[in-house]
Structure 1
Amino acid sequence: MTKILVGIDTGVNTGFAVAIDEGNGGKLNQVKSLTITKAMDEVKTIICNFGNSNVCLYIEDARLRTWFTGGREKAQGVGSVKRDAQIWEEWCKENQITFKLIHPRNNATKYKSEVFKKLTGWTNRTNEHARDAAMLVHGRFAKF
């Protein structure tokens, strides 16, 4: 049975990563950045192709974060990311999609490209949001 894990790093640039396990421990299949609506479309396509019961979303939930640094602009960005997490949660419930909300402290984030490549084996071009999404699903198949 094929298992699909989708990592979502919420924000204006939604980090989006897909890991597929076909009985071999799993590996990254997609690592990119999208708009929230394009990411939702991609999730729907994955579910159509693999079935709802084989897919689980791992969504970084900024609402659980209690530490912030920076000025007013940073605070507005944080509010936006928190709202996106809420939208993802509501959307998953409405569409009966299995999901897990991940506390930001429980995700290894902010890896530079070269470190990310060594950890994951993913050699294609990425940005910070895409890498953060990938780290939400990298190595999680044992917990699915």
Structure 2
Amino acid sequence: MSKTKERRFEKPQFDPLTEALLIGIDPGVETGLAVWNKDTQRLTQVATYSALEAQEEVKSYNSWGVPICLIIEDARKRKWFGPNANAKRQGAGSVKRDCSMWVEFCELNKIPYRLVHPQRGKTKHKAAEFRTLTGWTGRTSEHSRDAAMLVVGRGRF
């Protein structure tokens, strides 16, 4: 997608999320994916995939005919890196590329999406803490937990 092309499916930050399913995406080599059902106010899926597998999973949800919106963590907006900053910045470069690929995927497939800033304190939860916060008892990875924290509790209005 060229830089001059308008992003027609990007949802503005303060617009309400009206879609029934919110899908959190934590991009990377291991892509976290989590599905939040707004009606039940529960997570229905928390998993880790390769980027291509995650895109196929999103296409599957999109084919159901139920309105979906992707909430994608945008590493391009990250300004802090903490300890080992140089190593983290290099890794962030590939994640930034992955964010761009997700934007292009959404535009090509006409899927609404919102890019969100990585939040301090909202990521990197341990499994036990995540279980307490979300009620999800299934097996998780760090990436899938990060994806879930992007969508848990969103779209209440």
Please say whether Structure 1 and Structure 2 have the same fold, judged by a TM-score greater than 0.5: yes
Q: Who is 1:46 aligned against?
A: 61
CA contact (8 A) 2:24 2:151 kept: yes
Alignment check: 8 A CA contact 2:19 2:69 kept: no
* 1:127 lines up with 2:141 in the alignment: yes
Change (3 A) 1:27 1:50: farther
Task: Give, in angstroms, the shift of residue 73 of structure 1.
Answer: 3.9
TM (normalized to structure 1)?
0.89
**Match of residue 103 from structure 1:** 117
Counterpart residue number, 2:30: 13
Equivalent runs, 1:1-144 vs 2, <5 Å: 3-21=20-38, 23-24=39-40, 26-51=41-66, 54-69=67-82, 70=84, 72-105=86-119, 108-143=122-157
The 1:41–1:107 alpha-carbon spacing in structure 2 relative to 1, beyond 3 Å, is farther
For residues 107 and 129 of structure 1, the distance between their equivalents in structure 2, rounded to whole angstroms, comes to 15
- Compared with structure 1, are the counterparts of its residues 131 and 76 closer, same or farther at alpha carbon in structure 2 (3 Å cutoff)? same
Aligned residues: 139
Matched-pair contact (CA < 8 Å) for 1:62–1:78: yes
More helix by share: 1
Whole-Å separation in 2 of the counterparts to 1:58 and 1:72: 27
SS at match of 2:94: helix
Which sections of structure 1, spanning at least 5 residues, go unmatched?
A: none
Report percent identity of matched pairs.
47
Q: Once superposed, what is the RMSD of the aligned Cα atoms? A: 1.9
The Cα shift of 1:107 comes to 7.3
